[in-house]
Amino acid sequence: MTGPEEWFESVASEHPRCFWLDGGGAREWSGRRSVIGHLADDDVSITFHAAAGEVRRHVGGRSTVVGDDVFEVLARELADGPSDAQWFGHLGYASRRDLPARPDPRLPDAVWMRPSVVRSFTHDVAPGPDSSPRPAEATATPPPVPDDYAAAFARVQAELHAGNTYEVNLTHRVTTRSPIRPALAYRRLRALNPAPYAGFLQHDVDEARAWLLSSSPERYALVTADRTCETKPIKGTTPRGATPEADEESRRRLASDPKFRAENLMIVDLLRNDLATVCAPGSVEVPALMQVESYASVHQLVSTVRGRLRDDVSTLQALRALFPAGSMTGAPKLRTMQVIDAVEATPRGAYAGAFGWLSADGRADLGVVIRSLMTAGDGEWTLGTGGGITVHSDVTDEWAEAAWKAERLLRVFDA
């Protein structure tokens, strides 16, 4: 039987609209199933362009405007389509028009596809990369802090000290050029940075071209058949150590550092509040608080927040209420997004959004778009990087963290 890697190469080369939700870097909590699919010419995809305020429906080689709210259009497509339909795609950071976020100037702000051909694969259980750390390339001398980042950091600190926000996820966009094919770039990415929310999305359609290559470790939202909604925010990241002793020290520091713990707790509280708006009273819980998960290049501080959706709340309504992920904004969400909009020099695009699948039966599973690469297929590639800023943050440390988070992704483009 052809493996997922070989089938993926064939699908990506022959079908302009296709995807791979990749279980090869999975955790026990996320499963080891890969799903690869593609669309025929008469299958439906939709894209959202926030600058124009248009949701476009693509089918049969034609594109028509069908609304201005991607959540509403998705809900309508799920309601009107086949009862067993599944949609695969992403929501970019600017997908909620009622929140402050700049549109992506080059790529659609959301892409969703309903394939007619879907194939599943189960990956073998393997030791995985966690037991053999591959440290991030953190240099002994921190990289110099650019003036624009230092200015943005100072403005964030002013907002924090004024009490207007308690934590701000400050990010920036890194751009590079490479002629590498997106499918090959994804094969390199999954080898460099295996992750439970890895995946590849290709939408090679005129005026709506977009590729998203994800190697994200973070769950945005899981909605199960019994209407449980679970999210697993990550707040707190340290690089793996070069020796077992250094690696254990890095893990210990992450678990005990007051700054990391404060960041994580603030986001847990934010998500408890978000879930409380759509879940049954008394059902919201935190079954896991600040657990360390280890990946190929980093240790991460992860919590789990879950609740049971109310009978009058649909899956799309729940996903909208949680969007964007609190770990990618800060707290409180609305005021902090206003701060982000004022201080960040570049739009986020797909970065800080959500990527995964939705089903007509109400189930869904999406990751947060971090550790990901984006392109319009023109040789220009972008990625987002950053981290949570509190009153205790140091500008040099924060810039260094953003740099080594990006470094591993940029290795995809090494000869």
For residue 179, with 0-12 CB atoms within 10 Å meaning exposed, 13-18 middle and 19 or more buried, which class applies?
A: exposed
DSSP state of 137: -
- Alpha carbon 150 to its chain's center: 25
Q: What is the spatial distance between Cα 73 and Cα 127, in angstroms, rounded to a whole number? A: 42
pLDDT band at 132 (very low <50, low <70, confident <90, very high): low
Q: How many C-beta atoms lie closer than 10 Å to residue 262's C-beta?
A: 18
Tally of CB atoms within 10 A around 10: 14
Is residue 127 very low, low, confident or very high in pLDDT (cuts 50, 70, 90)? very low
Confidence band for 129, pLDDT divided at 50, 70 and 90: very low
Q: What is the pLDDT of residues 10-55, one digit of tens each?
A: 999 999 999 999 987 767 667 778 899 999 999 999 999 999 999 9
Residues 6+ apart with CB under 8 A from 129: 25, 194, 295, 296
Q: What is the pLDDT of residues 204-232, one digit of tens each?
A: 999 999 999 999 999 999 999 999 999 99
> 240: which DSSP letter?
P
Residue 231 near residue 322 (C-beta atoms within 8 A): yes
CA distance 120 to 36: 6
Ranges 56-65, 254-263, 336-345: which has the least confidence: 254-263
| CB hemisphere CA count around 249 (13 angstroms) | 6
178 vs 12, 188, 241, 382, CA distance in Å? 18, 14, 30, 11
pTM comes to: 0.93
Residues listed for the chain: 415
Question: Is 405 in the active site?
Answer: no
- The arithmetic mean of pLDDT across residues 112-141, rounded, is 68
pLDDT of 169 above 90? yes
Check if 9 is active-site. Answer: no
| Helices 395-410 and 147-161, axial angle in degrees (round to 10) | 130
Residue type, 132: S
Q: Among candidates 354, 320, 358, which has minimal Cα distance to 81?
A: 358
Contact 284, 322 (CB under 8 A): no
Helix (H, G, I), strand (E, B) or coil at 113: strand
**For the chain, percent of residues with pLDDT exceeding 70:** 95
Residue 138 pLDDT = 47
Select which of 77, 218, 230, 398 is catalytic. 218
Q: Kindly state the helix (H) or strand (E) to which residue 15 belongs, with its residue range.
A: none
**Token representation of residue 125:** 């259980």
pLDDT of residue 124: 75
Structural domain spans, the chain: 4-126+141-413
Q: What is the pLDDT of residue 143?
A: 84
Question: SS3 of 276, please?
Answer: helix
d(CA 60, CA 207): 15
Catalytic residue among 235, 263, 333, 344: 235
Percent over 90 (pLDDT), the chain: 82
Q: CB of 363 within 8 A of CB of 315?
A: yes
CATH code, 4-126+141-413? 3.60.120.10
Long-range contacts of 255-263 (CB under 8 A, 24+ apart): 255/290, 255/292, 255/301, 258/392, 259/390, 259/392, 259/393, 260/235, 260/236, 260/301, 261/236, 261/290, 261/301, 262/390, 262/392, 263/167, 263/235, 263/236, 263/388, 263/390
In the structure encoding, which two tokens stand for residue 160, read together? 């924090």
